[in-house]
Amino acid sequence: MSPFSDVTNLAPVAAGSNLFDHIKHMMWSATPAWLIGMLVYFIVGLKYGGGDVESESLILITQTLKENFNFNILLLLPMAVVFYFAATKKPTIPGMLFSSFIAGILAVVFQKASIPEIATALNTGYVAHTGVEQVDQLISRGGMMSMMETQLVAFTAFSFGGIMQRTGMLQVILDKVMKFANKVWSIVFTTISVSIVTALVTGSSYLSMIIPGELLAPIYKKKGLAAKNLSRIIEESGAIIVPLIPWSMAGVYITGTIGVPTFSYLIWAVMNYAAVVILAIFGLTGFRMAPKIREDETQIGS
């Protein structure tokens, strides 16, 4: 739900909604799902106690961070800028640029980074050399180039969608879908199903949002439903289901990183599947299914 998240930014693009409207609308389903997960963890956690709370691994990570970086309360400024732009509903891109500019200044002041080092981090990302592999893997990330894969996938998927639309193939599919998706509940269930199936077939968080978004956006418009309904559903029944799929990149990464098989942690990913159940309930009851109020739904307040 972060305005900086590639998944959160891609969902409203695929559905034709506004980023901040999408985030605000998603809170109605994501927050209860998160609270349900916390409740389950709290109840299960009551069965376990004693021992040292801080593991050796955690102590090593925190000590390494303290030894290699200078911490200060002012380092929270970039995050504060993001929250300010989100709360005041200001444009996303200026907020991200301003936040990055402040982060660059803080890197010079507190981490003694040089201008070339900052420029490199902006371009290809920051690469840590702390001597502790866990820490290096944790904080080595970022840069514009890290988004190129996402951009390429999005470009290819949108191109494919354009070909389907111009050749008439998309209309044939829509006509078939419309025979079933003629009520709010059936539209929601169709969206959830298409997103999950796409996630299972492709194993990609991006394609599990782009394909259903491109395919079903006309139906939401025709039925008078806001695009932020679609963007919420494709993110919460597509993107967050991908980590529960063993052959997806997310599933492989999680299993490889923490050494726990996908089917072992799947049952404990409570928020992931609780959000889907909540979306289905919203579809059946019509609760928080926003109507379309303007033609251009990329404008904030749609």
Q: In 66-96, which positions are buried (b, 16+ CB within 10 angstroms) versus exposed (e)?
A: eeeeeeeeebeebeebbeebbeeeeebeebb
Give pLDDT, residue 235.
96
Length of the chain, in residues: 302
CB 279 within 8 A of CB 271: no
Q: Quick one: tokens of 173? A: 């599919």
Q: Are residues 107 and 140 in the same domain?
A: yes
CA 113 to the chain's CA centroid: 30
Q: How many Å apart are CA 302 and CA 296, to the nearest integer?
A: 8
Does 49 map to a domain? Answer: no
Q: Are residues 114 and 215 in the same domain?
A: no
Give pLDDT, residue 166.
82
Q: Are residues 231 and 220 in the same domain?
A: yes
Give pLDDT, residue 53.
53
| Cross-strand pairs, 291 | 225
Does 84 map to a domain? Answer: yes
Does 18 map to a domain? Answer: yes
Boundaries of domain holding 131: 6-27+54-146
Q: Are residues 118 and 240 in the same domain?
A: no
Give pLDDT, residue 38.
96
Q: How many Å apart are CA 40 and CA 160, to the nearest integer?
A: 42
Q: Are residues 66 and 166 in the same domain?
A: no
Q: Are residues 262 and 154 in the same domain?
A: yes
Q: Are residues 14 and 128 in the same domain?
A: yes
SS3 breakdown of the chain: % helix, strand, coil, rounded to 5? 75, 0, 25
Q: What's the pLDDT tens digit per position in 191-220? A: 999 999 988 888 888 889 998 998 899 999
Q: What is the dihedral of CA 156, 17, 30, 8, to 10 degrees?
A: 40
DSSP code at position 54: S
The domain tally of the chain equals 2
Does 129 map to a domain? Answer: yes
Q: How far is CA 186 from CA 97, 101, 209, 214, 284, in A?
A: 41, 46, 18, 18, 8
Give pLDDT, residue 156.
78
| Cross-strand pairs, 141 | 126
Q: What's the farthest any 2 CA atoms get from each other in the chain?
A: 65
Please tell me the number of Cα atoms within 13 Å of 80 on its side-chain side: 7
Q: What's the pLDDT tens digit per position in 76-132? A: 999 999 888 877 878 778 888 999 999 999 999 999 999 999 999 999 999 999 999
Which residues does the chain have with pLDDT short of 50? none
Q: What's this model's pTM, rounded to 2 decimal places?
A: 0.78
Please enumerate in sequence order all residues whose Cβ is within 8 A of that of 182, keeping only pairs 6 or more positions apart, or say none: none
Q: How far is CA 239 from CA 76, 186, 243, 264, in A?
A: 28, 21, 8, 20
Q: Are residues 141 and 157 in the same domain?
A: no
Give pLDDT, residue 82.
86
Q: Are residues 131 and 170 in the same domain?
A: no
Q: Are residues 124 and 251 in the same domain?
A: no
Give pLDDT, residue 51.
54
SS3 assignment, position 225 = strand
Does 240 map to a domain? Answer: yes
Mark which of 146, 174, 195 sits at the end of a domain. 146
